[in-house]
Amino acid sequence: MQPARIIIVMGVSSSGKSTIGQSVARSLHVPFLDGDQYHPESNVEKMRSGTPLVDEDRWPWLEALANALSAAADRKDAAVGACSALRRAYRDFLVEKAGEPILFVYLKGDKQTIGERIAKRKHEYMPASLLDSQFATLEEPDPATENVLEVPVTDSIEKLTRTVTDALDHLKTFKRKQ
């Protein structure tokens, strides 16, 4: 893995991106930015109506998130974000717009497990009907060619947080004393 100040927890809807991202950020004492907060209202309305986003919808959102993560990392030496980042092109775009390496933490889970999770939650604008489009869009990151740490969604929050923070040797100074 390439050292990075920006960590993005990625995966399909209901994989636990925000929960794990917040936990990792707390552990590192750095800011957490939820990618959902950077969507323009037009994207939110599309998703709320059950219409999947297309690439033209995503580029401004991804650029805004990359800029915000870079600025947060400049202020606090590191930052953690949550973003689906489902396609390689989106991940490459985030890295390009941030202007620095990003470590993607891929929360890997099968459709059945994620489907059970999405059925149990109420998201403001991400209906369960969009889960199929999420998996159809997903291009799993390749650890041989991308800066990625793959972790299973079935691990506990504590175990996932520990796995991620243990992999961040270059950021150990931010970790809480155990």
CATH of residue 120: 3.40.50.300
Whether residue 1 is contained in a domain is answered as no
Give the mean pLDDT of the chain: 89
Looking at residue 178, its pLDDT comes to 33
Rounded Cα distance, 83 and 8, in Å: 6
Lowest mean pLDDT among 44-53, 138-147, 169-178: 169-178
Q: pLDDT tens digit string along 5-44? A: 999 999 998 899 999 999 999 999 999 999 999 999 999 8
Q: Which domain holds residue 113?
A: 6-171
Whether residue 46 is contained in a domain is answered as yes
Local confidence band at 127 (pLDDT 50, 70, 90 cut-offs): low
For 121-144, b/e burial (b = at least 16 CB within 10 A) is eeeeebebebbebbeebbeebeee
Whether residue 154 is contained in a domain is answered as yes
Looking at residue 120, its pLDDT comes to 76
DSSP string across the chain: ----SEEEEE-STTSSHHHHHHHHHHHHT--EEEGGGGS-HHHHHHHHTTPPP-HHHHHHHHHHHHHHHHHHHHHHS-EEEE----SHHHHHHHHHHHTS-EEEEEEE--HHHHHHHHHT---SS--GGGHHHHHHH-----TTTS-EEEEETTS-HHHHHHHHHHT-GGGGGGSPP-
Whether residue 44 is contained in a domain is answered as yes
Asked whether the predicted pLDDT for residue 126 surpasses 60, the reply is: no
Quote the number of domains for the chain: 1
Lowest mean pLDDT among 29-38, 89-98, 165-174: 165-174
Asked whether the predicted pLDDT for residue 176 surpasses 50, the reply is: no
Looking at residue 175, its pLDDT comes to 43
- Which pTM value belongs to this model? 0.89
Task: Quote the longest CA-to-CA distance of the chain.
Answer: 45
Local confidence band at 51 (pLDDT 50, 70, 90 cut-offs): confident
Whether residue 178 is contained in a domain is answered as no
Looking at residue 177, its pLDDT comes to 37
Looking at residue 47, its pLDDT comes to 81
